[in-house]
Amino acid sequence: MSKVAFQGERGAFSEDAVVKFFGEGAAFLPCARLRDVFQTVLEDKANFGVVPVENSQAGSINETYDLLLEYPLNIFAEIILRISHCLMALPGESLGSIKTIYSHPQALAQCEQFLRKLKVNIVPGYDTAGSAKMISEGALTGCAAVASKRAADIYGLQILAPKIENNRDNYTKFFAISKQESKLTRKSKTSLVFGTKNVPGALYSVLGIFATQNINLTKLESRPSKNKPWEYIFYVDFEGHLGSKVYREAIERLKQEATFIKILGSYPQWEQ
């Protein structure tokens, strides 16, 4: 049985991602912070961690990318989860009885169109599932939470309205992180981070390596360097696995052009 760490209370969307990849038989290890997930895996208190990296509406989760650079762990797999928010409250409540709604700010923003119609007090919290837990354990009448269906099941809450998100095409990508490396599969991706010299054409030269090797980039994103103000590092995803010769050759050429490079992992592409 895999021990899997994730950020948030039981019932968080990260737990849904754990179940989607590892199954209901996984041992769940909730953590207060994203950093705690990485640290738990590093200290062998969990075999894997599951962390959110990008939402289709809100974009990249910068803290996760910073931690991927900082910690000596591998991306073992990617998981893509459809995010569907529910409004939930204590049994016996109704939409008309709700005066205050709690949830994570991003969840509240993703349900703004529905919530605006209710004319209630909106209170941001640190976690979607944590808001559901607070209402359940505190027996808070007149209060509701925006969270997952799993959270309602875990905390014994009644769903007042399902699927209240603004956009039904709302997905979050998660990474499973581990000390283990993933094996070569039929359809793989590789993620890495690199820095370039602060000279004209430096990034162009690096990207040319991928182009001449006919390697398809699926993501390129810059982040501020923590070492020097106004300098940037680049996160890249590309199709392929470093177990194949053409990709190893590209990395060797990249090492000659970049100021540093860290391989974050080669792992299976998510397939529904």
Minimal CA–CA distance to 147: which of 64, 139, 161? 161
Where are the alpha helices (H) located in the chain, listed in sequence order? 13-22, 34-42, 62-70, 105-110, 112-116, 128-138, 149-155, 202-212, 245-257
Which one of the listed residues 48, 174, 210, 238 is annotated catalytic?
A: 174
- Give residue 64's Cα distance to chain centre: 7
Using CA atoms, how far residue 123 sits from 101, 109, 161, 255, in Å, is 6, 12, 18, 48
- Give residue 118's Cα distance to chain centre: 30
212 is catalytic: no
As a whole number of Å, the CA-based R_g of the chain is 21
Which one of the listed residues 64, 172, 190, 196 is annotated catalytic?
A: 172
Where are the alpha helices (H) located in 71-184, listed in sequence order? 105-110, 112-116, 128-138, 149-155
Q: Quick check: 101 and 144 in contact, CB under 8 A?
A: yes
Q: How many CA atoms lie within 13 A of 2 on its CB side?
A: 19
Compute, in degrees rounded to 10, the torsion defined by CA atoms 167, 51, 4, 44. Answer: 180
Amino acid at 226: K
Residues 6+ positions from 6 with CB-CB distance below 8 Å: 12, 14, 15, 17, 18, 28, 29, 30, 31, 37, 49, 50, 51
172 is catalytic: yes
Which residues are annotated as catalytic? 172, 174
